[in-house]
């Protein structure tokens, strides 16, 4: 079990059973889940942040954005995830925005959160091709699916084509490089991504990331 904290989130790697009782952030609305209680017999109770997690909203499961999913959808992701499960929570020590789309101070850096469905632009830099601008990308949509739908070649070469896991987060062949200075609204990458692509600190697995805002992405 491992835990890491940043100015925007707490990332925890937990063995099953987790021992977390979750509830909807807003009843009958797809706005994610939060931790209601920790059970002493679960791994969450033994982690470094056991006194902090109660009341925190689940942001990611295995690197996938869960902020605007239904209770059932979040539970499905946790149940279907391997053990240990990589879960990211909202960091209560950060000063967050109270409304989607508002700007807040986050460790001295402005942070923008976009509403699900907001149309943003992705700038795609591709080796040997003209720069592509995807101007109708939508916040909440899966990044891998959006890139493939716009004919961005993620799997160059026979090895990647044959080894493509189909978006399950296993092959790591859909990794793309983020130009951090030109990405707005995106959370830090998950511990799971760190373990899969440790040599590329600015890269993301496209299959495990939903679009969170405008970005410049390099595809090699």
The answer on 160 and 88 residing in a single domain is: no
* Ranges 69-83, 92-106, 129-143: which has the least confidence: 92-106
Domain membership flag for residue 103: no
Handedness of CA 142, 99, 109, 136 (dihedral sign): positive
Q: Which CATH number covers residue 177?
A: 3.10.20.30
**40, 61, 94 - which closes a domain:** 94
Q: Are 119 and 136 in contact (CB under 8 A)?
A: yes
CB distance 177 to 217 below 8 Å? yes
What CATH number corresponds to the domain at position 64?
2.30.42.10
- Omega before 84 cis (within 30°)? yes
What's the structural domain count of the chain?
Answer: 2
How many of the other CB atoms lie within 10 Å of CB of 196? 19
Look at the chain and count its residues.
220
| pLDDT tens digit sequence for 13-38 | 899 999 999 999 988 888 899 999 99
Range of the domain at 196: 119-219
Beta-carbon contacts of residue 69 (< 8 Å; ≥ 6 apart): 30, 32, 77
pLDDT reading at 4 higher than 50: no
Whole-angstrom Cα Rg for the chain: 17
**What is the distance between the alpha carbons of residues 144 and 167, in angstroms, rounded to a whole number?**
8
Same domain, 76 and 144: no
Domain annotation covers residue 35: yes
- Of the chain, the end-to-end C-alpha distance in Å amounts to 33
Identify whether 80 is part of a domain: yes
**Token pair in block for residue 165:** 């896991």
What are 152's two structure tokens?
């961005």
For residues 126 and 89, membership in a common domain is answered with no
From 175, 191, 183, 208, select the one nearest 47 (Cα to Cα): 191
208 and 141, same domain (yes or no): yes
Confidence at residue 105, expressed as pLDDT on a 0 to 100 scale = 40
- Distance, CA of 164 to CA of 11 (rounded, Å): 27
The verdict on 81 and 154 lying in the same domain is no
81 & 141 share domain:
no
Q: Which of 94, 111, 135 is the last residue of a domain?
A: 94
CA–CA distance, 86 with 76 (Å, rounded to integer): 14
Domain boundary among 78, 94, 110: 94
Peptide bond into 17 cis (omega under 30): yes
In tens, the pLDDT along 160-209 reads 889 998 888 889 999 999 987 678 888 888 888 888 999 999 999 999 88
**Residue 77 counted as domain residue:** yes
Mean pLDDT (whole number) for 119-142: 92
3-state helix, strand, coil in the chain (%, to 5): 20, 30, 50
Sign of torsion over alpha carbons 4, 5, 8, 14: positive
């Amino acid at each position: 079990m491992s835990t890491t904290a940043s100015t925007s989130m707490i990332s925890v790697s937990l063995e099953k059973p987790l021992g977390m009782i979750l509830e909807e952030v807003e009843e009958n609305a797809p706005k994610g889940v939060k931790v209601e209680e920790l059970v002493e017999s679960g791994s969450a109770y033994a982690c470094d942040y056991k006194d902090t997690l109660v009341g925190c909203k689940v942001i990611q499961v295995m690197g996938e954005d869960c902020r605007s999913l239904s209770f059932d959808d979040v539970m499905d992701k946790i149940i279907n995830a391997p053990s240990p499960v990589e879960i990211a929570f909202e960091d209560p020590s950060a000063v967050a925005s109270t409304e989607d789309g508002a700007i807040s101070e986050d460790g001295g850096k402005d942070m923008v959160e976009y509403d699900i469905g907001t149309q943003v632009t992705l700038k795609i830099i591709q080796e040997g091709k003209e720069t592509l601008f995807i101007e109708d990308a939508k916040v909440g949509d899966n990044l891998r699916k959006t890139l493939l739908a716009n004919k961005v070649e993620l799997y160059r070469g026979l090895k990647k084509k044959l080894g493509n896991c189909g978006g399950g987060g296993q092959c790591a062949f859909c990794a793309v490089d983020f130009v951090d200075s030109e990405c707005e609204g995106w959370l830090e990458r998950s511990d799971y991504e760190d373990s899969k692509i440790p040599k590329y600190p600015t890269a993301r697995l496209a299959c495990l990331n939903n679009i969170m805002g405008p970005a410049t992405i390099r595809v090699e």
